[in-house]
């Protein structure tokens, strides 16, 4: 019941009922990434008359956050590559790190030393700093 209500009243959490119906009627599952996001395309790869190419979309696992889409799937979604990552045997290079979503604005965001939102004490400004005052 909770899932139904979330799909009915929120667009940012997974998919809406309209998206679910459209995906069921016109979509074809292409694959899934390590985060649980599911990728679709027009059934049979049929080109959309308005676009001139097939439609491709993602149903997010949880909140709709575009930075949670890995690079390979992002390239496929934007028609940069024709072959979906699920249809090829891709091995990441030794220097590549696993994809991580952008955490800016969340509790998991990186906060350097001296930031106003860190728990540590801020160093006092001493030494060469002299505040400006009018009339000097």
Query: Has residue 9 been placed in a domain?
Result: yes
DSSP per position, 6-71: HHHH-SSBS--HHHHHHHHHHEEEEEE-TTS-EEEEEGGGPPPTTTSS--EEEE-SSB--GGGS-H
Domain count within the chain: 1
pLDDT of residue 56: 92
Q: Is pLDDT of 11 > 70?
A: no
Mean pLDDT of 11-15: 67
Query: Has residue 70 been placed in a domain?
Result: yes
Query: Has residue 66 been placed in a domain?
Result: yes
Kindly indicate the confidence band of residue 121, based on its pLDDT and cuts at 50, 70 and 90. low
pTM score, two decimals?
A: 0.67
- For 41, the domain range is 2-86
Query: Has residue 27 been placed in a domain?
Result: yes
| CA dist list (Å): 16 to 55, 59, 61 | 18, 10, 12
Query: Has residue 28 been placed in a domain?
Result: yes
% of the chain beyond a pLDDT of 70: 84
Query: Has residue 21 been placed in a domain?
Result: yes
Arithmetic mean of pLDDT over the chain: 81
Query: Has residue 105 been placed in a domain?
Result: no
Q: Is pLDDT of 37 > 90?
A: yes
Contacts (Cβ under 8 Å, ≥6 apart) of 46: 54
pLDDT of residue 58: 93
Query: Has residue 111 been placed in a domain?
Result: no
CA neighbor of 39 nearest in space, from 27, 30, 51: 30
2 CA to centre of own chain: 24
CA distance 43 to 128: 68
């Amino acid at each position: 019941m909770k899932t139904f209500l979330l799909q009915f009243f929120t667009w940012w959490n997974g998919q809406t009922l309209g998206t679910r119906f459209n995906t069921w009627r016109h979509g074809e599952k292409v694959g899934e990434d390590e985060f649980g996001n599911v990728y679709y395309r027009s059934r049979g790869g049929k080109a959309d008359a308005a676009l001139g190419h097939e439609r491709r979309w993602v149903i997010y696992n949880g909140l709709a956050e575009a930075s949670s889409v890995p690079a390979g799937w992002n390239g496929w979604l934007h028609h940069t590559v024709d072959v979906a990552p699920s249809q090829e045997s891709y091995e990441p290079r030794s220097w590549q790190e696993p994809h991580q979503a952008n955490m800016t604005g969340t509790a998991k965001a990186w906060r350097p030393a001296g930031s106003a939102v860190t728990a540590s004490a801020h160093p006092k400004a001493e030494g060469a700093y002299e505040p400006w005052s009018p009339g000097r």
